[in-house]
Amino acid sequence: MTNIKLYNKISPVGLAIFDKNKYSVGENAEAPEGILVRSAALHEEPFGPELLCIARAGAGVNNIPIDRCSENGIVVFNTPGANANGVKELAIAALLLASRDIVGGIEWAKTLKGDADVAKAVEKGKSRFAGPEIKGKTLGVIGLGAIGGMVANAAYGVGMKVVGCDPYITVKNAWSLSRAVKKADDYDELYAESDYITYHIPAIPATKGIINKENIAKMKDGVRIINLSRGDLCNVPDLLAALASGKVASYVTDFPCEELLGVPGVVAIPHLGASTPESEDNCAVMAAEEMVEYLENGNIRNSVNYPEISLPRTALHRVIALHENVPNMLSQISGALSSDGVNIESLLSQSKGANAISLFDTNDAVSEKAINDIRAIKGVVRVIVR
């Protein structure tokens, strides 16, 4: 029985992917081979030698110690695109919230309870919550992945002009973009053209604090900024200064912090981007499927630290070797198998940065000696036989 540990509440639809005859899944699972997590922080968690993979039911993986996982041959999965529609819909709402003081108006309307003539009071006071329409305005989309691309297309659909910038856009995501989305050569060009700017990029060292005084200075006066990606993208003191001066008209974020709460012009949403039953189901199913396919076959899809790899099973046994991306690894591993009388029926090897994985199918029994010989090869991180 393979143990899978849960660190958050996971949709039952996803948990149903695990065959009850093969897997024991729960929050108290001991010596797990897999961890299924949403937002729980794992940086201080000890990982046992049995742990083979971690699946994040969501796109961001800043709650997972990626480097430590790579050092120990632990494959980390995420679920890009599974919650994209939920975030896209919130982004459209955020555009409207950034334009008109809808939240302030609703709160003010509550204070009219008991007023003898609510309708008259509404007509008299509504002007303070007015704001521009989004039709005809220019939206700059930074990051055109699964979510950013959907936001760009949706914004064009409601009448906005859209300019996008993503130095790392994939061919698949490029094909999914509307032809009406204008490509900016760099962020500076996007900043200069946009009335609204929305960020759909990961929180990594290179993007931390990207919403800062230097970049804000390149934006239009009265720009409206939306950040549904990560709180770390924003340099809060710089943003507060820009709001106070009027350079930034409004800031809508899905990541509240104490400094932003109650600040005029800030709409703080309590991290609702993926808080739809559809998103939670989609993320859970995708994460579970990725984990099962790896644990049973060594195939990898949507890993942040290891390459994509998929080899159809052609024999009784599969040797899975995770190793450093250095020369002669295939020949050394093949040699170790061959010296133990193991004939390789098929193989596949892929790399991603410093990490690589190789799959070897055979109809011969793989002895403990052969496994130990492979483990002894310099640069081999982990060996699994399925």
374, pLDDT greater than 90:
yes
Structure tokens at 160: 């906005």
CA dihedral 23, 16, 145, 310 (to 10 degrees): 50
203, pLDDT greater than 90:
no
Average pLDDT over residues 285-299: 98
The pLDDT of residue 39: 86
Domain annotation covers residue 17: yes
User: What confidence tier does 172 reach under pLDDT thresholds 50, 70, 90?
Assistant: confident
The answer on 108 and 220 residing in a single domain is: yes
pTM equals 0.79
Average pLDDT over residues 198-221: 95
- Residues designated as active site: 230, 259, 271
The answer on 262 and 129 residing in a single domain is: yes
The pLDDT of residue 235: 98
Report the 10 Å Cβ neighbour count for 366: 20
115, pLDDT greater than 90:
no
Q: Which of 254, 288, 305 is the last residue of a domain?
A: 305
The pLDDT of residue 349: 97
User: What confidence tier does 81 reach under pLDDT thresholds 50, 70, 90?
Assistant: confident
Average pLDDT over residues 328-342: 94
58, pLDDT greater than 90:
no
Q: Which of 246, 268, 290 is the last residue of a domain?
A: 268
The answer on 55 and 152 residing in a single domain is: no
Report the 10 Å Cβ neighbour count for 126: 12
Structure tokens at 37: 């997590």
Phi, psi of 105, rounded to the nearest 5 degrees: -65, -40
The answer on 220 and 298 residing in a single domain is: no
198, pLDDT greater than 90:
yes
Mean pLDDT (the chain) is: 95
Average pLDDT over residues 54-75: 94
Burial-class residue 281 by CB neighbours within 10 Å (0-12, 13-18, 19+). middle
153, pLDDT greater than 90:
yes
Total tally of structural domains belonging to the chain? 3
What CATH number does residue 329 fall under?
Answer: 3.30.70.260
The answer on 124 and 7 residing in a single domain is: no
The answer on 156 and 115 residing in a single domain is: yes
The answer on 206 and 72 residing in a single domain is: no
The pLDDT of residue 90: 97
The pLDDT of residue 365: 94
Domain annotation covers residue 244: yes
Q: How far apart are the first and last CA of the chain?
A: 14
Residue bearing tokens 């981007």: 273
The pLDDT of residue 177: 94
The answer on 358 and 228 residing in a single domain is: no
The answer on 345 and 290 residing in a single domain is: no
The answer on 201 and 235 residing in a single domain is: yes
Residues 6+ apart with CB under 8 A from 114: none
The pLDDT of residue 80: 87
Average pLDDT over residues 209-228: 98
202, pLDDT greater than 90:
no
The answer on 364 and 350 residing in a single domain is: yes
Per the structure, the complete domain to which residue 27 belongs is given by: 1-82+278-305
The pLDDT of residue 155: 98
Reported as a single tens digit per residue, the pLDDT across 239-278 is 999 999 999 999 999 999 999 999 999 999 999 998 899 9
User: What confidence tier does 204 reach under pLDDT thresholds 50, 70, 90?
Assistant: confident
The answer on 128 and 56 residing in a single domain is: no
What CATH number does residue 4 fall under?
Answer: 3.40.50.720
Phi, psi of 155, rounded to the nearest 5 degrees: -65, -40
Residues 6+ apart with CB under 8 A from 189: 163, 165
Domain annotation covers residue 273: no
Domain annotation covers residue 155: yes
Average pLDDT over residues 18-44: 95
Q: Which of 209, 243, 268 is the last residue of a domain?
A: 268
Provide the percentage of residues in the chain whose pLDDT is more than 70.
100
Domain annotation covers residue 102: yes
